[in-house]
């Protein structure tokens, strides 16, 4: 199935502190013809101003991937994880049976630019887990997260 959605055609949300472009319906942006593809539900291209955050919120039965394009994000969750994810790093969180987390632009002055991707898992109610890594990029498409962790990617369900 071919699905191309150009940047200028994506949904837009701007809260002042967050400027987001949505490939699929998300939050206040809803278009029934753009709900997702197969298990892929969210690809958001987010820019967060310096010092701003996503307050603590919950997820369940979702694979959540963040890829940092510019800046760094501080992650805290109900499993006790507290990490800073920097430019070029990939963060994978399996929400499983349920997790609370917050995300914070680590810089008080510089913008954070990252992709947030949500995928429905192939198993439900698993124990939540967290992983982050810098994955070496190649001249071709580099897998960041795969079902089996192939080619040095992070493994997801």
Using one digit for the tens of pLDDT, what is the confidence trace for 136-152? 877 888 888 989 988 88
pLDDT in tens, 28-77: 899 999 999 999 999 999 999 999 999 999 999 999 999 999 999 999 99
pLDDT number for residue 41: 96
The share of the chain scoring above pLDDT 70, in percent, equals 99
pLDDT number for residue 12: 95
Helix (H, G, I), strand (E, B) or coil at 22: strand
Q: 99-105 and 145-146: which strand pairing?
A: unpaired
pLDDT number for residue 114: 97
Task: Indicate the domain borders of the chain.
Answer: 12-134
Mean pLDDT, the chain, whole residue set: 93
The CATH class that applies to domain 12-134 reads mainly beta
Task: Give phi and psi for 8, each to the nearest 5.
Answer: -70, -15
What span, in angstroms and rounded, lies between the C-alpha atoms of 132 and 103?
A: 14
pLDDT number for residue 68: 95
DSSP-derived secondary structure for 100-146: EEEEEES-SSS-EEEEEEEE--SS-SPPPEEEEEE----SS---SEE
């Amino acid at each position: 199935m071919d699905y191309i959605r150009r940047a200028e055609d994506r949904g837009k949300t701007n809260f002042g502190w967050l400027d987001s472009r949505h490939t699929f319906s998300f939050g206040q942006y809803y278009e029934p013809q753009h709900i997702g593809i197969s298990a892929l539900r969210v690809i958001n291209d987010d820019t967060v101003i310096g010092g701003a955050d996503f307050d603590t919120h919950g997820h369940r039965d979702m694979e959540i991937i963040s890829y940092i394009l510019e800046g760094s994000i501080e992650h805290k969750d109900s499993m006790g994880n507290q990490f800073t994810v920097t430019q070029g790093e990939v963060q994978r969180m399996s929400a499983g049976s349920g997790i609370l987390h917050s995300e914070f632009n680590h810089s008080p002055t510089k913008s954070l630019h990252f992709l947030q991707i949500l995928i429905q898992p192939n198993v439900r109610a698993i124990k939540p887990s967290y992983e982050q890594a810098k994955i070496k990029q190649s001249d071709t498409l580099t897998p960041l997260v795969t079902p089996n962790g192939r080619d040095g990617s992070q493994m997801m369900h």
